Amino acid sequence: MSLPPLVEPAAELTVDEVRRYSRHLIIPDVGMAGQKRLKNAKVLCVGAGGLGSPALMYLAAAGVGTLGIIDFDVVDESNLQRQIIHGQSDVGRLKAESAAASVREINPLVEVVIHNTALTTENVMEIFSGYDLIVDGTDNFATRYMVNDAAVLLGKPYVWGSIYRFDGQASVFWAEHGPCYRCLYPEPPPPGMVPSCAEGGVLGVLCASIGSIQVNEAIKLLTGIGDPLVGRLMIYDALEMKYRDVKVRKDPECVLCGKNPSVTELLEDYEAFCGAISDEAAEAASGSTITAQELKAMQDNKENIFLVDVREPNEYEIVSIPGATLIPKGEFLNGSALERLPQDKRIVLHCKSGARSAEALAIVKNAGFSDAVHVGGGVLSWVKTVDPSLPSY
CA nearest neighbour of 50 among 180, 237, 174, 214: 214
Name every residue whose Cβ is closer than 8 Å to that of residue 47 and which is 6 or more positions away in sequence. 70, 71, 136, 137, 138, 139
How do strand 111-115 and strand 133-136 relate by DSSP bridges? unpaired
Active-site residue identified among 207, 257, 274, 351: 351
- Total count of residues recorded for the chain: 393
Cα-Cα-Cα-Cα dihedral sign, residues 233, 193, 352, 269: positive
Cα-Cα-Cα-Cα dihedral sign, residues 364, 366, 369, 374: positive
Cα Rg, the chain, nearest whole Å:
23
CA nearest neighbour of 110 among 120, 118, 100, 98: 100
Inter-helix orientation angle 52-62/95-106, to 10°: 30
- 273/141 Cα distance (integer angstroms): 9
Does residue 146 sit in helix, strand or coil?
Answer: helix
Say whether 180 is catalytic: no
- 244/247 Cα distance (integer angstroms): 10
Beta bridge partners of 243: 236
DSSP string, 35-50: HHHHHH-EEEEE-SST
Q: Compute CA distances 26 → 32, 35, 196, whole Å.
A: 8, 11, 42
Say whether 254 is catalytic: no
Give the HSE-up count for residue 84: Cα atoms under 13 Å, Cβ half-sphere. Answer: 17
Active-site residue identified among 197, 207, 254, 274: 197
Catalytic residues: 197, 351
